[in-house]
Amino acid sequence: MILSWLFLRLAIASGLLLGLFLSQRFWYRSLWRWSGRWGSKRLRAAARLLYLIGLLLIIAGLADSLRNGHGNLIPRGTFLNVLAGLWFFSAVFAYLAVKCVHGLDGTWRFLKAHSHPAPATGDELPVDPGRRYFFKTATAAAGAAPFIGAVYGFAAERLNYQIHRIEIPVSNLPAALDGMTIAQLSDIHMSGYMPRSQVRRAVDMANDLGADLAVVTGDFITGTGDPIAECVEEIRRLSAPLGIYGCNGNHEIYADAEDSAQELFAQQGMKLLRHQNQVISFRGVQMNLIGVDYQRERAPGGRRVTTLAGLEPLVRKDIPNILLSHNPNTFNRAAELGVELSLAGHTHGGQIQVEILDHRLSPARFITDYVAGLYMRPLFTPAKTVASQEFLHATTLQGPHAAIYVNRGLGTVGAPVRLGVPPEISLLTLRRS
């Protein structure tokens, strides 16, 4: 099992490197052919040299952006880091799109040749100008679309904050808690890509919702050197009568900022729950709020570990439980333990999502069944029970159920782009099931 996990990680890393190499080779060769038509040798050489220099800088910027927790040679949010993220994302997807069009062209020619055999003289089939024009145009469109999409995702959709209002049926919810509201922010990733002014805008939008309780489910920053103190100061501006609570995410681990985040929360009069619980009273009725640090699913050597280990003493049987856990994959174990509601983030909703034939395709599908939005499963169901899509998305279940809401987050990682998944500020209303 451990060897298969290590092999999977190696295969993913190799695939990314291969994609980077093939895409960059493709675009360099395209530039070489295109510039070969120029009359000036100096101009051709200068263009090719500039491309190579730019590519080396982009690779350096991309490698630097992956050094979470190990410092940054190039400050995040600089033009070079932005260009690196945009170029890597665009070049790889444009290369794949162009190759798909070439594949369709080759398939069409193959089928055409076998359905209309060439004459006995050995002459080839006549060239079809319409086909050549169509596939030439399709190739240009396929190559340009990812670049246009990346620019749009960076300049527009990345900053298109949206309010999601969701009513969540909660088992064992007392009548007095029916209608209680929670404002949830997640995955702020304050850095050069996410300036303080944008965090402030999100907080102001959350405050306009007038929620009773405010929570932030991890990933306040991206890596070492990012301004976590400034992020916490902005979070402190959240307004909620029942207080402001949070939990750490995986990027707090990368930045070695779990302890400092807890201290900063305390200094600002908030509470970061780290395998802790807090009983909250609302309209004379109590509820149990639990928070955990990011829950790893594998040990450093690749061995699977049980999430939410040791959480049982924190779960109350007499009042409703709400769990703040950055990783949504803790939901199965939380439901098994009797936690009625979990709030998570981590996925960014995939950050990039496309819809093909009514099917939404998201990179987050590779890491979790809980990509974004509301999911439910029967309460006390063994964690290893595999759920069907109908099971996960059921709006009415027979008997007590557990629910999870996965926030799509505010910020970005890797490429500073969002497509089909705009940033989210959640207003969750608890309802008796």
For residue 278, the model assigns a pLDDT of: 97
AA letter at 59: I
| Rounded mean pLDDT, 409-415 | 89
Query: Of the given ranges (84-93, 147-156, 365-374, 414-423), which has the lowest mean pLDDT?
Result: 84-93
User: By mean pLDDT, which of 22-31, 304-313, 330-339, 419-428 is the weakest?
Assistant: 22-31
Q: Tell me what percent of the residues of the chain surpass a pLDDT of 90.
A: 49
Give the model's pLDDT for residue 266: 97
**Closest by CA position to 396, among listed 369, 373, 377:** 377
Residue ranges of domains in the chain: 16-119+128-155, 161-432
What DSSP character marks residue 221?
Answer: B
Specify the higher pLDDT residue, 42 or 56.
42
| Residue 185 near residue 206 (C-beta atoms within 8 A) | yes
What whole-number distance in Å separates Cα of residue 44 and Cα of residue 137?
25
pLDDT value of position 200: 97
Structure confidence at residue 140 (pLDDT): 82
Least confident segment among 102-106, 280-284, 310-314, 386-390: 386-390
Residue-level pLDDT at 357 = 47
Neighbours of 182 (CB within 10 A): 25
Judge contact between 77 and 64, C-beta under 8 A: no
**pLDDT average, residue stretch 64-92:** 62
Q: What is the full DSSP assignment across 146-210?
A: HHHHHHHHHHTGGG--EEEEEEEEETT--GGGTT-EEEEE----BSSSS-HHHHHHHHHHHHTT-
pLDDT at 69: 46
pLDDT, position 301: 65
Task: For the chain, state the CA radius of gyration.
Answer: 25
Query: Given this model, what pLDDT does residue 319 score?
Result: 97
For the chain, give the longest Cα–Cα distance. 94
**Residue 202, pLDDT score:** 98
* 161-432 under CATH 3.60.21.10, yes or no: yes
- φ, ψ of residue 148 to 5 degrees: the values are -65, -45
Identify the bridge partners of residue 281 per DSSP, sorted by sequence position.
Answer: 286
CA within 13 Å, CB half, 406: 23
Taking 80 as the threshold, does the pLDDT of residue 82 lie above it?
no
Listed ranges 236-245, 395-404, 416-425; the one with the highest mean pLDDT: 236-245
Q: Is the pLDDT of residue 346 over 70?
A: yes
Kindly report the average pLDDT of the chain as a whole number.
84
User: Taking residues 241-264, what's their average pLDDT?
Assistant: 97
Whether the CB-CB separation of 189 and 411 falls below 8 Å is answered with yes
Section 179-188 average pLDDT: 98
| pLDDT greater than 80 at residue 122 | no
Task: Give pLDDT tens digits for 222-240.
Answer: 988 899 999 999 999 999 9
DSSP string, 44-88: HHHHHHHHHHHHHHHHHHHHHHT-TTS--SS-TTSHHHHHHHHHH
Q: pLDDT tens-digit profile of 15-28?
A: 767 777 888 788 87
Rounded to whole angstroms, the Cα distance separating 104 from 247 reads: 49
Higher pLDDT, 126 or 49: 49
Rounded Cα–Cα distance for residues 224 and 69 (Å): 5
Residue 249 pLDDT more than 90? yes
Asked whether the predicted pLDDT for residue 74 surpasses 70, the reply is no
DSSP letter assigned to residue 223: S
Task: Write down the pLDDT at residue 41.
Answer: 83
**More confident call, 366 vs 260:** 260
Which of the four pLDDT bands, split at 50, 70 and 90, describes residue 345? very high
Q: How confident is the model at residue 175 (pLDDT cuts 50, 70, 90)?
A: very high
Residue 224: strand pairing partners: none
**Which DSSP helix (H) or strand (E) runs through 251?**
helix 250-254
